[in-house]
Amino acid sequence: MENVLSRLRTDILTGAGLLTRLPLPDHRSGGIGAAWCWPVIGLLVGALAVGAGGLAIWAGLSAGVAGVIVLLVQVLLTGGLHEDGLADTADGFWGGWTRERRLEIMRDSRIGSYGVIALILVFLARWTLVVQALAHGHWGVVIAAAVLSRGVLPGVMALVPHARSDGLSKGVGRPDRDVAALAFVLALGLTLVLSGSVVVAGLVAIGVAALLSRLALARIGGQTGDILGAVQVVAEIAVLMAL
């Protein structure tokens, strides 16, 4: 039992160390096998963000302001990791004409027009949906979207080949399919508890992951850390819409 708890702690700290900027002890020993707990990290990020939004509403602020606070806390907790991936993906996919050029653009730390447009549209969509959820008291829906959008990432990593021989995704490795399946099942379970609904949201999350994976295969020959970031952000919006 002690070994199980120790492994659980290590995996969660490993996942949090990769997906957040929380000042936690460095526990990379969990490796990519810790990907099963990524929905738990989504639960943590979503709960902290919604908690901050809830405090704003309790203090008398509007749902619109609370929505801004929710998004701000999410970005602060993750360091904008996923949003950065989305911007790089948009720039690369539509700013380059060849696979090599697209990968080169995606690696560039500078942001281009496509990336800026993608971020504006994404934050507008997320803010609109989060505000609606908060205004109607459906706070669990916001958390569930954070959970399920991270639950599909191990599956993308397990099923889609790497687009390059280096980079974040390549360095982290590829989880086993059973780890990916466990992550998704866990995400579905948490989503059901948080929102009371899971079938449509689960199908939507899988659909987004499959669509962006196919696009990545066509454009750059596989997945990268940027692709995973884009999948998370787009899946979160799609799940919010579905729920």
Q: Report the pLDDT value the prediction gives residue 2, as an integer from 0 to 100.
A: 59
Q: Report the pLDDT value the prediction gives residue 24, as an integer from 0 to 100.
A: 82
Q: Report the pLDDT value the prediction gives residue 27, as an integer from 0 to 100.
A: 63
Q: Report the pLDDT value the prediction gives residue 101, as an integer from 0 to 100.
A: 95
If you write DSSP's letter for every residue of the chain in order, what string do you get? -HHHHHHHHHHHHHHHHHH--------GGGGGGGGGGHHHHHHHHHHHHHHHHHHHHHTT--HHHHHHHHHHHHHHHHTTHHHHHHHHHHHHHHH-SSHHHHHHHHH-SS--HHHHHHHHHHHHHHHHHHHHHHHTT-HHHHHHHHHHHHHTHHHHHHHS-BSSSSSHHHHH----HHHHHHHHHHHHHHHHHHHS--HHHHHHHHHHHHHHHHHHHHHHSSB-HHHHHHHHHHHHHHHHHH-
Q: Report the pLDDT value the prediction gives residue 36, as an integer from 0 to 100.
A: 96
How would you write the pLDDT of the chain (243 residues) with one tens digit per residue?
657 788 888 889 999 999 999 988 766 666 888 999 999 999 999 999 999 999 999 999 999 999 999 999 999 999 999 999 999 999 999 998 999 999 999 999 899 999 999 999 999 999 999 999 999 999 999 999 999 999 999 999 999 999 988 766 667 789 999 999 999 999 999 999 999 999 999 999 999 999 999 999 999 999 999 999 999 999 999 999 999
Q: How many CB atoms lie within 10 A of CB 58?
A: 9
Q: Report the pLDDT value the prediction gives residue 142, as an integer from 0 to 100.
A: 98
Domain ranges in the chain are 2-22+35-242
Q: Report the pLDDT value the prediction gives residue 147, as an integer from 0 to 100.
A: 98
Q: Report the pLDDT value the prediction gives residue 57, as an integer from 0 to 100.
A: 96
